[in-house]
Homo-oligomer: A and B are copies of this chain.
Amino acid sequence: MKSVKVVGLLASPRRYGSSFKGLMLALKAAERFGAETEWYHLYQMDIKPCLGCVSEDIKACKYPCIIKDDMKKIYDALVNSDGFIIATPVYWYSPSGVMKNVIDRLTALENMIHIDGHSWLDGKVGGFIATGNDSGAMFAIAQLMSIMNSMGVVIPPWSMAYTNELGDPLENSAFVTDSLNVGRTVVMMIKAMRGEKVDRWYDPELYDWYEKELKEWLINLVKEEEAKAEKPWKDPNWLNSK
C-alpha cells in the first residue's frame, strides 16, 4: 500500500507553545490514521524573503528558487508529501511574518505552472492551525486557505483548529479535538482521493484517545522542549547566531 506522507510547518518562535501543541496533536492523529510525518521549525531555519522575480519575468520564478537557503528543505519536503499542516501563532490577525515569508517563497512551486504546466503543490492536502489569545484566528485561517487553494491545494472538511483566548490550549477540549481532527481529515482526504470510503469527516471521540494515550506524553514533551529552549527573549542574540 502506498504510504501517506504529511509535513508539519511550525511558524512560532516557540517549540513548546500553543502552535506547537496543536501541531503535535495533528501529527499524532495523522500517524494514527496511517501517515508518516516530519515537521520543520521555521524559526530555526534560514529562510530569506521573496524577491518577487515574477514581476520581472513570469518564468524567472521556479524551483529551486535562486535564493540558496533552508527553503530548499521545505520545497523538497512538500513536493515529496501528500499533504501538510501549517501551525502558526496569530500575530495581528495573520500568520507570523516568518510564515508569510515561507508563503511568498512557495511561489517557486506554484509558478511551475508556467514552466512545466502544473503547480507542484497541485492536489496536496492542507490543514491549518492558528493560535492566539485574542480575535483574529479565522482571519488568519481564511488567508491561509485562500492562498493555499490558489496554489492548487485541497482543503478537506473541518481543516482548521484555533484558539482565541488566554490559557493553556490543552485545557481547551475543542482545540484539542479540532487539532486532532486536522491531522485526521488531511489523511482521510488523501485516502479518499485514493478511493477509500470516508464515513465521517470529524470524529469527536478523538478527544478520548487524547485523554487516555496522548495527554501525558504531550505534557512531558512540552516540558522537555521548554527546558531546553534557548529562550530567545532572554537572549536576543539567539536569532542572530543562526
Chain B proximity of A108: nearest CB distance (Å): 12
Whether A68 sits at the interface, judged by CB under 8 Å, is yes
Which stretch in A22-30, A44-52, A75-83, A216-224 binds the other chain?
A: A44-52
A137 contacts partner chain B, Cβ-Cβ < 8 Å: yes
A145 neighbours in B (Cβ, 8 Å): 142, 145-146, 149, 155
Complex interface: chain B residues within 8 A of A136 (CB): 135, 138-139
Q: Report A131-150 CB contacts with B as 1/0, cut-off 8 Å.
A: 00111111101110111011
Residues of B within 8 A of A93 (CB): 138-139, 142-143, 146-147
Question: CB distance A149 to B159 under 8 Å?
Answer: yes
A67 at the interface (CB under 8 A from B): yes
User: How far, in whole Å, are A223 and B193 apart by their CA atoms in the complex?
Assistant: 40
Chain A contact residue count (CB 8 A cutoff): 83
The answer to whether A195 and B198 have CB atoms under 8 Å apart is no
Contact of A67 among B51, B101, B142, B236 (CB under 8 A): B236
Are A97 and B94 in touch, CB under 8 angstroms? no
**A133 to nearest B CB, angstroms?**
7
Establish whether residues B200 and A122, one from each chain, have CB atoms under 8 Å apart when the complex forms: yes
Give chain A interface residues in 165-190, CB to chain B under 8 Å.
165, 189
A positions within 8 Å CB-CB of B: 12-14, 17-18, 43, 48-53, 55-56, 60, 66-69, 89, 91-98, 100-104, 107, 113, 117-119, 122-123, 133-139, 141-143, 145-147, 149-150, 152-160, 162, 164-165, 189, 192-196, 198, 200-202, 204, 232-233, 236, 239-240
Q: Which of A98, A142, A145 neighbours the largest number of chain B CB atoms within 10 Å of its CB?
A: A142
Q: How far is the CB of A128 from chain B (nearest CB, A)?
A: 9
In the bound complex, do residue B138 and residue A146 qualify as a contact, i.e. CB atoms below 8 Å apart? yes
**Complex contact A97–B101 (CB within 8 A):** yes
A94 touches B91 (CB 8 A): no
Are B192 and A13 closer than 8 Å at their CB atoms? no
The answer on a CB contact under 8 Å between B56 and A233 is: yes
| CB nearest to A192 among chain B residues | B193
Say whether B96 contacts A103, CB under 8 Å: no
B240 contacts A118, C-beta separation under 8 Å: no
Indicate whether A150 sits within 8 Å of B160 (C-beta atoms), given known contacts A145-B145, A239-B67.
yes
Q: How far is the CB of A28 from chain B (nearest CB, A)?
A: 22
Whether B146 contacts A157 by the Cβ 8 Å rule is no
